[in-house]
Amino acid sequence: MIPQEIIRRKRDGEVLSANEIAAFIRAMSEDRISEGQVAAFAMAVFFRGMTRDETIALTLAMRDSGDVLSWGDVTRPIADKHSTGGVGDNVSLMLAPIAAACGLAVPMISGRGLGHTGGTLDKLESIPGYNIMPDEKLLRRTVDEIGCAIIGQTSDLAPADRRLYAIRDVTATVESVPLITASILSKKLAAGLQTLVMDVKVGSGAFMSNLANAENLTRSLVDVAIGAGVPTSALITDMDQPLADAAGNALEIVNCVDFLKGSKAGTRLETVVLAFAAEMLVQSGAVASLSDGEQAARSALQSGRAAEVFGRMVHALGGPSDFLERSHNYLPAAPVKVFVPAVRDGYLAQCQTRALGMAVVELGGGRRRASDAIDHRVGLDGLLPLGTKVVKGQPIAFVHAANEEDAERIAGEVARLFMITDDAPAETQTVLKRIG
């Protein structure tokens, strides 16, 4: 196998065979291909695309680049969910313990931030001691005894994806449907899932900014996953504004704890979390209908069972035993906090959501290069939802920063990212479409 020949053929729009794709991915995972060649391959796929069969072959090759877990000793249904990412999208942090509290086993293999979107692993690393890379024995024990474990790709799970994932982030090739599909599904299939639900974001803060592109990605994910043998459904959800009222690593963990304790009821975030919990429970055969699934999930949340599962998971994976009760004592806090004032009276009608995510990156809460360290303290919170009536000077968000200069600069930028109008905007749906 000559890497440059495979790159050339894909660059010229030819269809690669499953054997060619497998050989290239195997060489990449064994570090026999340079970073430049991997980047060139990613760019060729970005511009030329892949057929369904090529995408299935890429997904399976990346899955098979490492171990594939088997859960024969676990009696619970093995289920998971994945999101294509957005701003303030911390659904996974609450969803996994809710699903576990309802009787599912959720070995959730998550990723780091990509571009303007936050990463579940980066958020969890805000928790002192939390081990995002447990060995297989600890992973199995946690899933078996507690019901869920949110972790990263260990060195044995889809190692080819880990390398390609980092290179895509810094080469402007994130928004490729075949690469997104293969990246997501290779990790999920390596986890040995029986069922999967997908959250595909669309809007100004998503990688897919319009509904047609989001549907294209969604159908690719569902089609390839089913083609690989995993029953899958998907919801397309709105990302024209941040989903949670916080964006930033430790701040989103605070948001998660607050949610599990019941203080985020009635929000867009709750709508999405409960919708995906219902999907997971129906897919796994635990309930007969989506309404039954939502009711079961709401009960797990309101009873405190889901919060208990989250606390136990954190402790099992190395975090503090009393994290749920004393999270503010453990999470890092930025030294400077300033508010973002509304520039005029009126209604919050629109926001540039991707730019809000990039503001978090500018604060140090994301990466410009794969090697960048993250400041878990920084970010935005107190973000008011669109449709809120405000008066001039009222806080519409708060900036948490490492220093006064960054705080004031980002506060000014964030203020300009919101459009305020005299009339209230039309209400929008949070869950836009179901495909399955």
What is the CATH class of 333-421? alpha beta
**Tokens read off for 225:** 């996953």
Q: Give the span between the Cα atoms of 229 and 227, in whole angstroms.
A: 5
**Tokens read off for 338:** 């300033």
The catalytic residue positions are 80-83, 120, 168, 183, 187-188
- Does residue 105 surpass a pLDDT of 70? yes
pLDDT tens figures, 69-98: 899 888 899 999 989 889 999 999 999 999
Annotate 338-407 with DSSP letters as a single string.
EEEE-SSSEEEEEE-HHHHHHHHIIIIIS-SSTT----TT-EEE-PPPTT-EE-TT-EEEEEEESSHHHH
187 pLDDT tier (thresholds 50, 70, 90): confident
pLDDT computed for residue 249 by the predictor: 96
| Sign of the dihedral defined by the CA atoms of residues 327, 267, 95, 154, in that order | negative
- Does residue 122 surpass a pLDDT of 90? yes
How large a percentage of the chain has pLDDT more than 70? Answer: 99
Residue 199: in which H helix or E strand, if any? strand 195-202
Q: Give the span between the Cα atoms of 295 and 182, in whole angstroms.
A: 33
Q: Give the span between the Cα atoms of 27 and 3, in whole angstroms.
A: 9
pLDDT tens figures, 198-249: 999 999 998 888 999 899 989 999 999 999 889 999 999 999 999 999 999 9
Query: Same CATH fold, 79-328 and 3-63?
Result: no
pLDDT tens figures, 264-293: 999 999 999 999 999 999 999 999 999 999
pLDDT computed for residue 138 by the predictor: 94
In this prediction the pTM is: 0.88
- Does residue 301 surpass a pLDDT of 90? yes
For tokens 């293999």, what's the residue? Answer: 109
Identity of the residue numbered 116:
H
Q: Which CATH architecture has domain 79-328?
A: 3-Layer(aba) Sandwich (3.40)
**Tokens read off for 350:** 């629109």
Domain residues of the chain, as ranges?
3-63, 79-328, 333-421
For tokens 């474990």, what's the residue? Answer: 149
Q: What is the CATH number of domain 3-63?
A: 1.20.970.10
